[in-house]
Amino acid sequence: MNLRAYWRFLVVARHFLPLLVAYARDRKRFFVVGSSRRVTPEQRRKRAQQLLDSLLTLGPTFIKLGQILSTRPDVLPPEYIEEFSKLQDRVPPADWDEARVVIEDELGSVDDRFDEFETEAISGASLGQVYLAEVDGEKVAVKIRRPGIETLVEADLRVVRWSLPLLMYFIDDSRSFSLETLADEFSKTIREEMDYQREGRMLTEIRENFRDNDRICIPKVKESHSTQRVLTMEYVPGTKINDIDSLDAGGINRTELAETLQRAYLQMIIDDGVFHADPHPGNLAVQDDGTLVFYDFGMSGRVDPFVQDKIIDFYAAVADQDIDAILDALIEMGTLSPEADRQVMGDVMELAIADARGEDIEQYRVQQIIQQVEDTIYEFPLRLPANLALVLRVATVVEGVCVTLDEDFDFIGVATDYLREEGYLAEGVRNFVENRATEVSDAARSAVRIPPKLESALDRVEREDFRVQADIEDSDGLLATMTKRLILGMLLASTLFSTAFLYTQASLPATGVGIAGTVGLSLALWWSFRSKKAVRAKPQFTRQSMREQDRESPSGLNTSFGEDTDDAYSGD
């Protein structure tokens, strides 16, 4: 029996119950009866802020849960996504005496394994904390799993599992699957982040991918002093990437730095298929010569080749402002339902691109496009692949950092240049030409095959031995409804004419019969339009409603980075 898990369940329930009750009242004004009530964007934002405070109060596991939720627009509305994106995983480090126990359990005596060891942590986070030390004359950063974190995390994961059935009552059926898969994803992600051996492997792989790039620096892992709970790395100091005054004082070209950052992530996601997934300013630093330094690879992911191809298609389509190609890429990636109305979604993308353009028509922001897509994803619930959600989130955060460095930074221009230099755009042209050549070849073969078949068909027509059989699928009874209306309309027209003729030429009783028939047919025709089976189309949302929603919600996406520690190294 895990008494701690039961106690945590009560604590979590106390924090979340008021919000769940409010949400239940949104669906049924009086809980059991009554219509739903409309919640304004301001109300949603206020609730999101309250929930954010609760996550911070509940500690490490729920801070991580909030960070995962910030990448899931299929689960939460945009206001929650924006608030949760502000989560900064910074908490006071544990006492040195407790941390020392972890090191000595994993490596042996601190005095024997390290030449020097500073007992004051330079960084503290929910899952780990970082210390400075020296090994064989080399300065290193030692990342230690927070003492006792395993027990707390396991208890909280049980609480999350126990809470799911309760949450299902309060949420829409369309999002129940997303929540269940999110729970599985969260459990897997937080365990991976506590596994420092995995982080070391990911760091080493990404470092190897940038070995020939002298503008990128990734610390080297010291294998002899690393285990599942301790990760020792080369210490690489630097200025935080959002410390603009220090960068300017050092003569750093911020535009070039932003381009280096953007190109690094394009390489990781599009070329390498493995990427650093936590690019907030606390994990990015700049050396005196302008070299970009990456820290903390606890949150990292992989992209499979199919998704890589679709991301290339998406970037190329955005650069060309090709709405149909953008929609195709989103559907094929799984971020947009194939059943969504393409005309409506085309309007969404047109508005998104129009809103994202700056004074220069070529300057527009992918971040704002993705934000509009995320809003739409919430309106059309779907199941986002976990790593793709991370990719979308990384794209917005990186773009925010780039704009902080250079407010006129052309994200699309850099992406387009990168794709062209790497040969992706040229390859796309070659594929287009090859596809068209295939189509021409198929058309030529068809042109050879069709004349004999056409001659045979004409011979049968000439012999009066030609019949056409067609099966019409009408599962909704649309054809029958239209036929019924057509017949009723024709009868009504003829009856009107007959009644008018009887009124001028025949007796009053005969005219009355004609009028009764006319009224009867008119009612029948009217009723056919009132029937539930009538052909109607109710738009899911209109351009006007989108504009009203845009006026109600805050414009743009404000990126907040919170408070960072004194050193750029992160504890998890």
CA distance 64 to 126: 8
pLDDT, position 378: 55
* pLDDT given for residue 553 in this prediction: 46
φ, ψ dihedrals at 455, nearest 5° = -65, -40
Question: DSSP labels for 56-111?
Answer: HHH-HHHHHHHHHHTT-TTTS-HHHHHHHTT-----PPPPHHHHHHHHHHHHS-HH
71: its two tokens: 């990448």
pLDDT of res. 561: 33
* CA gap 29, 22 in Å, rounded: 9
What is the pLDDT, as a whole number, of residue 39? 78
Determine what percent of the chain falls in helix, strand and coil, rounding each to the nearest 5.
60, 10, 30
Question: Can you list the residues of the chain whose pLDDT is less than 70?
Answer: 1-2, 27-36, 71, 73-74, 88-91, 168-181, 337, 340-341, 344, 347-348, 351-387, 426-479, 505-506, 530-572
| Residue 411 to residue 426: CA distance in whole angstroms | 20
DSSP letter at 268?
Answer: I
Q: Tell me the residue type at 260.
A: T
**What is the longest distance spanned by two Cα atoms in the chain?**
122
What backbone phi and psi angles, to 5 degrees, belong to 300? -145, 160
**Pick from 427, 447, 450, 451: which is nearest to 439 by CA?**
447
DSSP string, 398-458: HHHHHHHH-TT--HHHHHHHHHHHTTHHHHHHHHHHHHHHHHHHHHHHHHHHHHHHHHHHH
Q: How far apart are CA 284 and CA 240, in angstroms?
A: 6
For residue 99, the model assigns a pLDDT of 92
* CB burial string 270-302: b at 16+ within 10 A, e below: bebbbbbbbbbbbbbbbeeebbbbbbbbbbbbe
